[in-house]
Chain A
Amino acid sequence: MKNTRKRYKLATSQKTMREHQPKRQEILERVNLYLDQEMSQEDEKSFLQQVRQDSEYQQALESEQHFRNRLHNVVSSHRVSRDLVQAIREKIRIAPI
């Protein structure tokens, strides 16, 4: 009896995980399309409505936004030195087209 209950519990939790996984995947996919600005206007509208209604969507969007901002801050901090810009200008000045 105990084992049967355990097996039932395990099967139920696995079923929940299986059901939950595609939703998480779908959310992530839509969040990425939205942040990558690859959604049509109509899809974007329905996505934003979903975000307002569903806390899972809201959390996923916030988390992905923070993650990207962090990446962006690091990647965009590379700057070309003035010396290098000047050196390139010099090379261009004497290079024929």
Chain B
Amino acid sequence: MSDNYHQVFEREIEPHYDALYTCAYHLCKNQADAADLLQETVLKAWKSMQHYEQGTNAKAWLFKILKNTFINNFNRKKRKGTALDLENVQIADESTKEMNEEEKGSYGTTSTQDFTDSPYGDEVTMAILNLEKPFREVLVLSLENFKYEEIAEILNIKVGTVRSRLHRARETMRKTLKAYAETQGIDADENLADPEMEEM
């Protein structure tokens, strides 16, 4: 039976590791924590394999586990008194007020964290990491091609909230990247353009 689970796991779960790691990195903001979060998520998924129905939406299931694991870890660290800079938390707009208590508890990652281990170090990564968590997570999930409804399900929020946060996240990204382009003396439109298109 376990052999069968191993096969299912390899076929349906492993292909999502990159996507899970990407999301974990954007939640944790550093590679070491992202790797730990990925491992913990995958192990939890493995232990719940008897509840998993083959052929269903494995990706959404995994992202939900990842999100819950991240929240649990955050709360655990908070109880232990790990340095988390909650003073910098800002309530950004009405949509953040709609967050449930669980989400509010996981809202402490801020722009003051250390980005030095960002493997890409470019302005886009920085801009994403600088977004407040509720906006960052919907943006990252949308980039994984999840539908509004799936994002709502994963994050346990309303579809309308997904839409408003996504809109806000994209607007913030555009403004941040435009401002960056201006400080570098780059044409903002060109800076935001697709590099493949630029080469043409």
Contact = CB atoms under 8 A, between A and B. Distances in A.
Interface of A: 32, 36-38, 63, 65-80, 84-85, 87-88, 91-92, 95-97
Given A36-B148, A37-B147, A65-B194, A71 B124 contact: yes
A31 B169 CA distance: 16
B31 to A, nearest CB: 9
A80 B194 contact: no
Contacts of B42: 88, 92
Given A69-B194, A74-B120, A74-B122, A84 B35 contact: yes
B38 A80 contact: yes
A78 B17 CA distance: 10
A95 B193 contact: no
Q: For the complex, would chain B's binding face be called helix, strand, loop or mixed by DSSP majority?
A: helix
Question: Which 6 A/B pairs are nearest by Cβ-Cβ distance?
Answer: A69-B194, A78-B22, A74-B124, A66-B194, A66-B193, A80-B17
A36 B124 CA distance: 20
Contacts of A80: 17-18, 21, 38
B101 interface: no
A37 B142 CA distance: 11
9 contacts: A32-B167, A36-B142, A38-B148, A71-B128, A73-B195, A74-B120, A77-B120, A85-B17, A96-B47
